[in-house]
Structure 1
Amino acid sequence: MPEPPAHAFRAAAEAAPVRGFDRVAWCYDVLAGAVFGPAQRRAQLVALAGLPATAGPHVLILGGGTGWVLTEVLRRRPQATVLYLEASPNMLARARRRLASHCPAAAPQVEFRHGTQAALLPPESFDAVITFFVLDCIAAPELDAALNQLRQAQRPGAPWLVADFRPARRGWRHWLLVAMYAFFRLTTGLRARQLPDVRAELTQRGLRPAQEQRFFGQAIEAGIYVEQG
């Protein structure tokens, strides 16, 4: 039986409407800054140090939000080509506007695509995978499939750059996570209920942290994950 064409996979992946963080796109950056100060961006900057040194890497940014990460990637690697994959159309629109404002000449190097990791096409592969504060939004029953899809999209030797919250079972970090998940369930319909142990999940998939750093009282972690060996 012949394999369906690539556009059929994309159509199937996008058949269900995906809205993501549409309701909070207008205030997300301000809200994050008010709660975490510069900690989130500092974590992302540490992880971005792991971008491949090649002049024009092909980069996947999953859940990049309003586009700050995109412009930072292009600042560091001006010749990079980027697939910007975002579940919120409003976030996607803001990222487009940010690119047009900050890096207009790089517009041909960026593909903006609405969707989650499910919108990746089977042949697509990347020199770097970036997931900043997005794996925590994936519901537990979907996590294995999502991580496997992203892992398959890594080219040999490609780093997986991560910045995200760390699991906590007690103390103020635990209650911070409880409050965040409750807020986003109410405002965005987020289906995730608990934070995955990203380090353990990536280790199980043959990756190891080549570099790690923690922020905001150990609540946030940045990591550069590479193939074990």
Structure 2
Amino acid sequence: MANQPVVDNGFDSIAPFYDALSRLVFGNALRKAQACWLNQIPPGAEILVFGGGSGWLLARLLAVCHPRHVSYIDASAAMITLARQKVDNDSRVDFRTGTELSIQPGDKVDVVITPFVLDLFAEERLKIVVLPRLFSSLKPGGLWLCCDFLEPRWWWQKILLWSEYRFFRAISRIEADHLPNWQHLLETHLPLNPGQMTTFFGGMIGSGYWRK
């Protein structure tokens, strides 16, 4: 177990300061990307959040989207604890500490949200295991919201992304050592219809939605 990648162990070791670190580097860009398409979610939706982290997005979802139920999955028990605290352990939320294996065959939702989590996986695992499992939980006509890093355009972005992967592989042993082409996989490997995509932080961050 000691050598398991962080996508299976979680960000326990950096959970207390992860949000502060991300805001130091990216300002409000990560939060803006996560909130960008929440207006596409209808009231009363069943939502699956995969890799939600410390709960900022969850609190926003509950306040703005008024879902009927949220399945909130994160590999880090420490992140789940922080998320519970942010929403006062709201009864509409099913908190699950785990990976894609925590998605059950009976999970059928109107919305899947993957906020800055697909970049942690090796591309082959995304293609073969993670994305199909998430896709299977989405009802026909359902909405998939995803925000994550895009291939850098500028030299400083390339240095920043390279540094991020080196840091998280050293500190948290993440599985990926480079950015997977998650957008390509969503649009070609899965039968999803693209909606809109917008970018943040000089084009380094993408936020979009797709429909099943």
Counterpart in the other structure of 1:136 = 119
Question: What's the CA shift for 1:199?
Answer: 1.6
TM-score relative to the length of structure 1: 0.85
Report whether the alignment pairs 1:69 with 2:57.
yes
**Aligned residues: CA RMSD:** 1.6
Question: What's the CA shift for 1:193?
Answer: 1.1
Match of 1:24 among 10, 14, 24: 14
Counterpart in the other structure of 2:30 = 40
Question: Contact conserved, 1:74 with 1:80, CA < 8 A, in 2?
Answer: no
Counterpart in the other structure of 2:4 = none
Question: What's the CA shift for 1:184?
Answer: 0.4
TM-score relative to the length of structure 2: 0.91
Counterpart mapping for 1:185-224 below 5 A: 185-204=169-188, 205-224=190-209
Counterpart in the other structure of 1:112 = 95
* Aligned sequence identity (%): 37
Matched residues, number:
204
Measured at CA, do residues 212 and 114 of structure 1 come closer, stay the same or move farther in structure 2, by a change above 3 Å? same
- Aligned counterparts of 1:178 and 1:112: Cα–Cα separation in 2: 32
Q: Which runs of 4+ in 1 moved over 4 A?
A: none
Deviations 1:50-70 (A, max 9, x none): 21x2x3111000111100111
- Aligned counterparts of 2:40 and 2:120: Cα–Cα separation in 1: 23
Question: Contact conserved, 2:53 with 2:79, CA < 8 A, in 1?
Answer: yes
Question: What's the CA shift for 1:173?
Answer: 2.0
User: Rg larger in 1 or in 2?
Assistant: 1
- Aligned counterparts of 1:40 and 1:64: Cα–Cα separation in 2: 12
